[in-house]
Amino acid sequence: MENRFASFPLTDVTLADGEFRRRQLLVRDYVLSFDLDRLMHTFRVNAGVSEPAGVEPLGGWEAPDCGLRGHFVGHFLSAASRFYAGCDAELEPQIKTQLHTIVDTIVSVMADCAQPSGYLSAFPESQLDTLESKEYRKIWAPYYTLHKIMQGLNDAYRYVGNETALKLAVNLAHYIAGRFAPLGHWKIDNMLRPTRLNPINEFGGIGEALYNLYDLTGDDKVLATAKIFDRDYFLGPVSQGEDVLEDLHGNTHLPQIIAAEHRYEITGEVKYRDAAVNFANMLATRTFANGSNSSKAKHYTLEYGVSDKAEHWGTAGDLHDALTFGESESCNGHNTERVVSTLLRWTGDKRYADWVARLKFNAILNCLNPRTGLSQYHQPMGVGARKIFSTPMNTFWCCTGTGVEGASDLQKDIWFRGVAGADNAGVGSADGLSSAKNSADSPAAASAADNGAAVSTVLLGSFIASAVDWREQGVRLELTTDYPASLTATLTVRLLPQSGACSESSRFALLLRGDTVADASVPMSHREDGYAVIERDWHDGDVVTFSIASNWHTETLQGAPARKAVLEGDVLMAMPGHAVDIDNLPDGGAALEEAVTVLKMRPLAAIGGDEEYSVYLNTDAAHPVQIEPFEPVAEGANDPQ
């Protein structure tokens, strides 16, 4: 299958002034100010390496007695590396240098702590011995943590060029290969079958980290090791279209789909492509209005942690009892974005572009505290909910690390460039996977044929203030907007010097999601497959002003016809307080906009940590919602130590 779109390199996209950039900078400041001796304390203690006197350990999930210690360090290394990649050396030379120093310091300490065998972590190897001998008892999730560490090392090499990081990652991968080599099929199957409610043998995205490392090295041993973590108990039935998601822990299995997508891109094995496509269809039946997922298990038990409230998938098409205050784990939102954006690249299907945009505004941005930038664990959308955010030095949940890392590349998945030879003018077949229709049938292709060459395309997926350097095309595209505060956006085209000289113009097609654009200051060439297309010769300084469609509408909670969320375009709204029994809520248009004003609704992502709010309103006031006092869902209950 030929990809329809490709992502731009992280270094070529920047956020402009706006809420996404503001929160990204909050997190970057947090990274820049972090005490690295505190960060690396448990690594040094585990390896018996000396450290400065009086170092205070971190708390929460990075505490010296926590089974998951070390996971945040990997996230932090990835974040520092990606912040470095996105930092302009000319505009912020001191910050660029500081980020480089942070990465080098962490990698240097890791090199001091690495064992000759290649083992590297903040917990002893005996945890892996226990996993192999007792399978899932008495340990938490060692391969989950090793995933974060390895990916941090991958990123330190990929984005900062730290050669030591690559050596440490390869050595760790070979160590893992050596541990699995003597194990039998059923031993491995038992170790890597985290199907119990709230599983403690979660292995996260270690397979994806290994595939990333293979991309960097071409090491066949690394590739073979990555495949060990592609588990057929899950990927097998899903690839055949069998929905087995009910009662599974969400963020234990989302990373397996990300790895499956990567495996398909490396090997071309159709099974793993099919698994990803089918999985997305299954996940859509368990998705909230913010684009994300997870809540109580269908067959939950109070014996196993939070399965009665959070982190699991329930029955397809039924979220009627899923507003538990533990719904929508933030890690799930970030990993769902990765799954769906890959499907968008593969297929060009607009529904995936819509899904990514929904996630960006309502799960990814909403994860981050408007005041501090630190993350939520869960993102409740019920009645009288509140947001609970990480603290700087004493929580370090899984979602703390995911949020910090996610903030470092918030600029991703806004812009996509068309792949040469793909049919990007009329993008996306019904399932996105059948043979591409004859590109000569599309109007843009006909125009291109007149010129004897295919027209390059670029997709603007979301109205998020940003700029992209499209180097292959010789242009820089600058989008200015404060959406959703206003419904206007301005695109400015700059021609980049090519081989020492600027071209007078550049011809390409700009694609936008058609239902997001009410009007534009230049004519649309055509609309097709849900996209609006502007194809023309662009000149330096060209400006296009867009009127963004308000598109007020409601969305029903799956399985609960009376519970409705309100959205303005991509943006999910929240109402202050908990008086949510509302008869005759309009379905859309000006009447709904007026109701939103009366109800004083605001974007969910704008709500702070000290506010009570409600998202899913009850439109059957004859049957009032039973209001329960807000109780934060406990976290870390699955740590067996």
- Distance, in Å, from the CA atom of 101 to the CA atom of 420, rounded to the nearest integer, reads 39
Give the per-residue pLDDT at 502: 58
- Mean pLDDT computed over 17-29: 99
Query: Is the per-residue pLDDT at 444 higher than 90?
Result: no
- Mean pLDDT computed over 80-88: 98
Give the per-residue pLDDT at 628: 83
Query: Is the per-residue pLDDT at 525 higher than 80?
Result: yes
Architecture of domain 20-408: Alpha/alpha barrel (1.50)
Confidence of residue 434 (pLDDT cuts 50, 70, 90): very low
Domain range annotation of the chain = 20-408, 415-428+437-548, 552-618
Query: Is the per-residue pLDDT at 21 higher than 90?
Result: yes
CA 212 to chain centre: 16
Structure token pair of residue 382 = 């019920």
Give the per-residue pLDDT at 40: 99
490-517: pLDDT as tens digits: 999 999 987 555 578 999 999 999 999 9
Helices (H) and strands (E) counted in the chain, each on its own, are 19, 18
Query: Is the per-residue pLDDT at 629 higher than 90?
Result: no
pTM for the whole structure: 0.95
Q: What are phi and psi of 552, to 5 degrees?
A: -70, 130
Confidence of residue 217 (pLDDT cuts 50, 70, 90): very high
Lowest mean pLDDT among 26-30, 351-355, 428-432, 611-615: 428-432
392 CB-contact burial (10 Å; exposed 0-12 / middle 13-18 / buried 19+): middle
Q: Residue 367's closest CA among 336, 330, 332, 413?
A: 330
Give the per-residue pLDDT at 372: 98
Architecture of domain 415-428+437-548: Sandwich (2.60)
267-313: pLDDT as tens digits: 999 999 999 999 999 999 999 999 999 999 999 988 767 899 999 99
- Mean pLDDT computed over 122-128: 97
- Distance, in Å, from the CA atom of 360 to the CA atom of 342, rounded to the nearest integer, reads 15
Give the per-residue pLDDT at 418: 97
Residues 6+ apart with CB under 8 A from 618: 383, 562, 563, 580, 581, 582, 624, 625
Confidence of residue 576 (pLDDT cuts 50, 70, 90): very high
> Average pLDDT of the chain?
93
Confidence of residue 200 (pLDDT cuts 50, 70, 90): confident
Give the per-residue pLDDT at 453: 64
Give the per-residue pLDDT at 136: 59
Give the per-residue pLDDT at 635: 63
Confidence of residue 177 (pLDDT cuts 50, 70, 90): very high
Lowest mean pLDDT among 20-29, 91-100, 464-473, 623-632: 623-632
Q: Residue 38's closest CA among 21, 59, 17?
A: 59
Neighbours of 518 (CB within 10 A): 13
Confidence of residue 445 (pLDDT cuts 50, 70, 90): very low
Alpha helices in 66-184, H assignment, sequence order? 71-85, 93-113, 126-134, 142-160, 163-180
